[in-house]
Chains A and B, each alone.
Chain A
Amino acid sequence: MKQWLYCALVLVFAPHLAAAEMPLNMTQGVTEISGKVYDLHMTILYICCAIGVVVFGVMIYAMINHRKSKGAVAANFHESTKVEIAWTVLPFIILILMAIPATKTLVAMEDTHDAELTVKITGSQWKWHYSYFDQDIDFYSNLATPMSQIEGEETKGENYLLEVDKPLVLPTHRKIRFLMTSDDVIHSWWLPAFAIKKDANPGFINETWARIDQEGIYRGQCAELCGKGHGFMPIVVQAVSAAEFDTWVSSQQAAAGAAAVEAEAALSQSLSLEALMAQGEQVYMSHCAACHQPNGMGLPGIFPPLKGSAVATGPIADHLEAVINGRPGTAMQAFGKQLTAQELAAVVTFERNAWDNNTGDTVQAADVDNHGK
Chain B
Amino acid sequence: MNTLTRELNSVAEPADQTQLHEEDHHHHQAPKGIWRWLLTTNHKDIGTLYLWFSFIMFLTGGTMAMVIRAELFQPGLQLVEPNFFNQMTTVHGLVMVFGAVMPAFTGLANWLIPMMIGAPDMALPRMNNWSFWILPFAFTILLSSLFMEGGGPNFGWTFYAPLSTSFSPDSTALFVFSIHIMGISSIMGAINVIVTIVNLRAPGMNWMKLPLFVWTWLITAFLLIAVMPVLAGAVTMVLTDKYFGTSFFEAAGGGDPVMFQHIFWFFGHPEVYIMILPSFGIISAIVPTFSRKKLFGYSSMVYATASIAILSFLVWAHHMFTTGMPVFAELFFMYCTMLIAVPTGVKIFNWVTTMWRGSISFETPMLFAVAFIILFTIGGFSGLMLAITPADFQYHDTYFVVAHFHYVLVTGAIFSIMAAAYYWLPKWTGHMYDERLGRIHFWCSVISVNVLFFPMHFLGLAGMPRRIPDYAIQFADVNQIVSIGGFAFGLSQLIFLAVVLKCIRGGEKAPAKPWEGADGLEWTLPSPAPYHSFSTPPEIK
Q: Please say whether the chains A and B touch (CB closer than 8 A).
A: yes
Q: How far is the CB of A315 from chain B (nearest CB, A)?
A: 27
Q: Is A301 an interface residue (CB 8 A)?
A: yes
Q: Is the CB of A68 within 8 A of B388?
A: no
In the complex, the chain A residue whose C-beta lies closest to that of B293 is A74
Q: Is A72 an interface residue (CB 8 A)?
A: yes
| 8 A Cβ contacts from A125-178 to B | 125, 149-152, 156, 158-162
Q: Is the CB of A98 within 8 A of B338?
A: yes
Q: Using known A-B contacts A37-B394, A196-B393, determine if residue A91 contacts B473 with beta carbons closer than 8 Å.
A: no
Q: Is the CB of A160 within 8 A of B296?
A: no
Q: Is B324 an interface residue (CB 8 A)?
A: yes
In the complex, the chain B residue whose C-beta lies closest to that of A226 is B163
In the assembled complex, which residues on chain B have CB atoms less than 8 Å from the CB atom of A196? 393
Give the CA-CA distance A188 to B461 in the complex, in Å: 17
Kindly supply a per-residue 1/0 record for chain A positions 74-110, scoring 1 wherever the CB is within 8 Å of any chain B CB and 0 otherwise.
1111111001100110011001001100110111011
Q: Is the CB of B358 within 8 A of A72?
A: yes
Q: Is B13 an interface residue (CB 8 A)?
A: no
Q: Is B475 an interface residue (CB 8 A)?
A: yes
Q: Is the CB of B470 within 8 A of A41?
A: no
Give the CA-CA distance A197 to B356 in the complex, in Å: 44
Q: Is the CB of A199 within 8 A of B391?
A: no
Q: Is A17 an interface residue (CB 8 A)?
A: yes
In the complex, the chain A residue whose C-beta lies closest to that of B460 is A26
In the complex, the chain B residue whose C-beta lies closest to that of A108 is B390
B interface, how many residues as a size bin?
35 or more
Q: How far is the CB of B175 from chain A (nearest CB, A)?
A: 15
Give the CA-CA distance A245 to B474 in the complex, in Å: 30
Q: Using known A-B contacts A16-B481, A156-B76, A161-B472, determine if residue A110 contacts B297 with beta carbons closer than 8 Å.
A: no
Give the CA-CA distance A48 to B384 in the complex, in Å: 8
In the assembled complex, which residues on chain A have CB atoms less than 8 Å from the CB atom of B526? none
Q: Is the CB of B390 within 8 A of A37?
A: yes
Kindly supply a per-residue 1/0 record for chain B positions 376-416, scoring 1 wherever the CB is within 8 Å of any chain A CB and 0 otherwise.
01100100110011110110111000000000000000000
Q: Is the CB of A150 within 8 A of B77?
A: yes
Q: Using known A-B contacts A52-B377, A78-B298, determine if residue A99 contacts B335 with beta carbons closer than 8 Å.
A: yes
Give the CA-CA distance A146 to B274 in the complex, in Å: 45
How many residues from A make CB contacts under 8 Å with B?
A: 108
Q: Is B2 an interface residue (CB 8 A)?
A: no
Q: Is the CB of B470 within 8 A of A150?
A: yes
In the assembled complex, which residues on chain B have CB atoms less than 8 Å from the CB atom of A271? none
In the assembled complex, which residues on chain A have CB atoms less than 8 Å from the CB atom of B77? 150-152
Give the CA-CA distance A87 to B355 in the complex, in Å: 17
Q: Is the CB of B252 within 8 A of A203?
A: yes
In the assembled complex, which residues on chain B have CB atoms less than 8 Å from the CB atom of A77? 296, 357
Give which listed residue, B293, B349, B462, contacts A23 with CB less than 8 A: B462
Q: Is the CB of B384 within 8 A of A27?
A: no
Q: Is the CB of A201 within 8 A of B473?
A: no
Q: Is the CB of B463 within 8 A of A27?
A: yes
Kindly supply a per-residue 1/0 record for chain B positions 309-336, scoring 1 wherever the CB is within 8 Å of any chain A CB and 0 otherwise.
0000000000000111001001100110
Q: Is B465 an interface residue (CB 8 A)?
A: yes
Q: Is A307 an interface residue (CB 8 A)?
A: no
Q: Is B257 an interface residue (CB 8 A)?
A: yes
Give which listed residue, B81, B155, B341, B458, contacts A95 with CB less than 8 A: B341
Q: Is the CB of A40 within 8 A of B297?
A: no
Give the CA-CA distance A76 to B322 in the complex, in Å: 50
Q: Using known A-B contacts A87-B346, A92-B342, A95-B339, determine if residue A197 contacts B397 with beta carbons closer than 8 Å.
A: yes
Residue of A24, A67, A196, A223 with most partner-chain B CB within 10 A: A223
Q: Is the CB of B458 within 8 A of A63?
A: no
Give which listed residue, B251, B252, B335, B462, contacts A204 with CB less than 8 A: B251
Q: Is A350 an interface residue (CB 8 A)?
A: no
Q: Is B352 an interface residue (CB 8 A)?
A: yes
Q: Is A55 an interface residue (CB 8 A)?
A: yes
Give which listed residue, A14, A40, A58, contacts B388 with CB less than 8 A: A40
In the assembled complex, which residues on chain B have CB atoms less than 8 Å from the CB atom of A300? 149
In the assembled complex, which residues on chain B have CB atoms less than 8 Å from the CB atom of A220? 463
Q: Is the CB of B360 within 8 A of A72?
A: yes
In the assembled complex, which residues on chain A have CB atoms less than 8 Å from the CB atom of B349? 55, 87
In the assembled complex, which residues on chain B have CB atoms less than 8 Å from the CB atom of A160? 75, 472-473
Segment at the interface with B among A229-237, A249-257, A278-286, A339-347: A229-237
| 8 A Cβ contacts from A1-33 to B | 10, 13-14, 16-17, 19-27, 33
Q: How far is the CB of B94 from chain A (nearest CB, A)?
A: 14
Q: List 14 A-B contacts (CB under 8 A).
A: A17-B455, A17-B477, A41-B385, A72-B360, A76-B294, A84-B346, A87-B346, A91-B345, A95-B338, A95-B339, A161-B75, A195-B390, A202-B162, A228-B86
* A interface residues, Cβ below 8 angstroms from B: 10, 13-14, 16-17, 19-27, 33, 36-37, 40-41, 44-45, 48, 51-52, 55-56, 58-59, 62-63, 66-69, 72-80, 83-84, 87-88, 91-92, 95, 98-99, 102-103, 105-107, 109-110, 125, 149-152, 156, 158-162, 180, 184-186, 188, 190, 192, 195-199, 201-204, 206-207, 220-232, 299-302, 329-331
Given A59-B352, A67-B359, 16 other A-B contacts at CB below 8 A? Answer: A17-B455, A22-B477, A44-B385, A44-B391, A66-B355, A78-B296, A80-B297, A87-B349, A91-B345, A106-B327, A184-B166, A192-B394, A202-B251, A222-B465, A224-B397, A302-B169
* B interface residues, Cβ below 8 angstroms from A: 75-78, 81-83, 86, 148-151, 154-156, 160, 162-163, 166-167, 169, 251-252, 256-258, 291-300, 322-324, 327, 330-331, 334-335, 338-339, 341-342, 345-346, 348-349, 352-362, 370, 373-374, 377-378, 381, 384-385, 388-391, 393-394, 396-398, 454-455, 458-459, 461-463, 465, 467-475, 477-478, 481, 517
